Amino acid sequence: MNGMKRKLMVFHQYLAPYRIDFFNALARRGDMEAFFEYEDSPDHHYNRREMESRCVFRPRYLNHVPVAGRRIPSGLACILREGRPDLVLVPEFSILALEVCLLRAVFRWKFQIISICDDSMDMIRGNELSRLHALARKMAMPMIDDVILPDSEACRWYREHYGKGIFFPIVRDEQAFRMQCREALPVSLSLQEEYALRGKKVVLYVGRLAPEKNLECLVRAAASLPEDTVLVIVGSGSLKEELQHLAGRMQVSAIFPGWLEGVRLAAWYNLADIFVLPSLVEPFGAVVNDALAAGCFCLVSGRCGSSCLIRQGWNGELFDPEDEERLASLLREACRNRGVRPSFPHLKECLMPAGFREYVNHLMEHMGL
């Protein structure tokens, strides 16, 4: 490229906090434009304005046209023609991704196409989010030059079946997140006093309160924990009242702070001794990255893509999400092994197996950036 930066074009569903550091890294390595299908996530209550302020690029949002009851991204041909990218990143095997592939074929453009895909090995084995996803994968993979995967085992499967695959877990810059955790320590102290948590062990979950998250199993497993343990379930969703009633019936000491982000969420990571992600279906689970960066020992369902971040016995353990007794046993063991909780919140040691920069540099080498 004679010292010139490659021209990148990123298409993605929506701007999410766990993707910002990755997109910023791309923008620093190349001449990047970024377009998002939707201004807001349908499942999360992210503060879009706050996220945009953290971007080193200018997020732009696509227009849509209604087709057979669906909203289809429009104007892609004009965007690609005017942008003249060398490399285009597309979201998984979506309609948007297929549009980009077809436009490249029709106009004989020469840019590379790389899919950002969240497939986990559990999904590949048959626990798909939908049959359409599996069908779209078969259609798109011959037209895509490479695919970024957050699950190392799934990446090996893609390489065996398609000769394509770059491993890059969904991680954020742990140093920036740990700085946020440090800034949140006064809030952690306030929460500790508000909920009378001094001297108690805290088991934390963060995410949507939805059936696939398997939270009923977590609440039942927590019933076997000693009295000095508190279960904190951060998030919102349709199951909140049901989970609160279940915790009451099982006599589980539980706190439901609702949906949180930023410093107030980081404050709970500071207070947590153990983090649990018990999902039945979870393409990745970026919250595990946050928990490990904050120094929480993590119990993670083996069906989660983020299980690739766990080094069993050191920073966490894996379990079958349908084995409630095993989860209860791991919770009891983890609570025993966490030692005596300090009197005041503190910044714990990072438990990530590798740093964000290491993961990013590996990816950029594969992408030629």
| pLDDT digits 0-9 by tens, 197-226 | 999 999 999 999 999 999 999 999 999 999
User: What's the sign of the alpha-carbon dihedral 327, 328, 333, 334?
Assistant: positive
158 shares a domain with 68: yes
Does pLDDT of 114 surpass 60? yes
| pLDDT digits 0-9 by tens, 260-307 | 999 999 999 999 999 999 999 998 999 999 999 999 999 999 999 999
Q: Is residue 342 part of a domain?
A: no
Total structural domains within the chain: 2
167 shares a domain with 31: yes
Tell which residue, 349, 285, 282, has the closest CA to residue 315.
349
307 shares a domain with 183: yes
Q: Is residue 2 part of a domain?
A: no
> Listing from the earlier edge strand, what are the strands of the sheet with 146-149?
59-61, 31-36, 7-12, 87-91, 112-116, 146-149, 166-167
Q: Are β-strands 63-67 and 70-74 bridged in parallel, bridged antiparallel, or unpaired?
A: antiparallel
Q: Report the Cα–Cα distance between both ends of the chain, in Å, rounded.
A: 10
Does pLDDT of 16 surpass 60? yes
Does pLDDT of 33 surpass 80? yes
pLDDT of residue 127: 67
CA angle 47, 75, 39 (to 5 degrees): 10
Of 44 and 355, more confident? 355
Average pLDDT for 95-115: 96
The CATH code of the domain that includes 307 is: 3.40.50.2000
164 shares a domain with 46: yes
Does pLDDT of 20 surpass 90? yes
pLDDT of residue 1: 44
pLDDT of residue 230: 97
190 shares a domain with 73: no
167 shares a domain with 190: no
Q: Is residue 131 part of a domain?
A: yes
Q: Is residue 348 part of a domain?
A: no
Query: By residue range, what is the domain housing residue 124?
Result: 7-171+355-367
CA angle 334, 182, 15 (to 5 degrees): 90
Q: Is residue 266 part of a domain?
A: yes
Judge contact between 111 and 104, C-beta under 8 A. yes
- Helices within 169-277 (DSSP H only): 174-183, 185-194, 215-222, 240-249, 262-271
pLDDT of residue 293: 98
Tell which residue, 47, 7, 41, has the closest CA to residue 27.
7
pTM to 2 decimal places = 0.91
Does pLDDT of 136 surpass 80? yes
110 shares a domain with 165: yes
Of 271 and 1, more confident? 271
What phi, psi does 217 have (nearest 5°)? Answer: -60, -40
Report residue 5's pLDDT band, with 50, 70 and 90 as the boundaries: confident
61 shares a domain with 11: yes
Tell which residue, 331, 205, 203, has the closest CA to residue 260.
205
Tell which residue, 316, 361, 308, has the closest CA to residue 157.
308
Report residue 123's pLDDT band, with 50, 70 and 90 as the boundaries: confident
pLDDT of residue 339: 62
330 shares a domain with 201: yes
Average pLDDT for 88-103: 95
User: What's the sign of the alpha-carbon dihedral 296, 238, 200, 189?
Assistant: positive
Matching residue, tokens 């290491």 = 358
Q: Is residue 124 part of a domain?
A: yes
Q: Is residue 19 part of a domain?
A: yes
Compute the mean pLDDT over every residue in the chain, rounded to the nearest whole number: 93
Q: Is residue 200 part of a domain?
A: yes
Matching residue, tokens 């039945």 = 280
Among the residue ranges 61-70, 75-84, 103-112, the one predicted with the least confidence is 61-70
103 shares a domain with 247: no
